[in-house]
Amino acid sequence: MWVIDIRHWLGENLLDAGLPQLRLKVKKLGEIITYATAIEAGISVDFQPVCWRRPKRKACKGKLDIDLNSDTDQIHWRCPECGDEGVVTGWKGLIWDMSDTSKEPLQ
């Protein structure tokens, strides 16, 4: 299980990956954050993030089950196809956050 504070993977500007090898992972985490926070905010979304894992060198086609726990501010994802799962934190106030953060300054 992945346990990720996304801010640890971002550059100083908090807009993109801090290292080139994290670019794809940050992009996928951004999709998960956008999806979870949009659903929580009642915003209609027309996509569901897909798994990025490659079990046995073949792309997993699973659509991620994503839940946002508003008590802990953790976003949990799980792929029903390959079983990959994780939790992402540190997303509040970032560009992918679709919730109403106007009252909460970016730290």
Residue (of 25, 41, 45, 50) closest to 98 by Cα position: 41
pTM above 0.75, yes or no: yes
Which stretches of the chain score pLDDT less than 70? 101-107
Q: Mind listing the pLDDT tens digit for each residue in 16-43? A: 999 999 999 999 999 999 999 999 999 9
Residue 67's SS3 state is strand
pLDDT of res. 54: 84
Q: Which two tokens stand for residue 29?
A: 């985490």
Sheet of 2-5, strand order? 2-5, 85-89, 74-78, 65-69
pLDDT of res. 103: 42
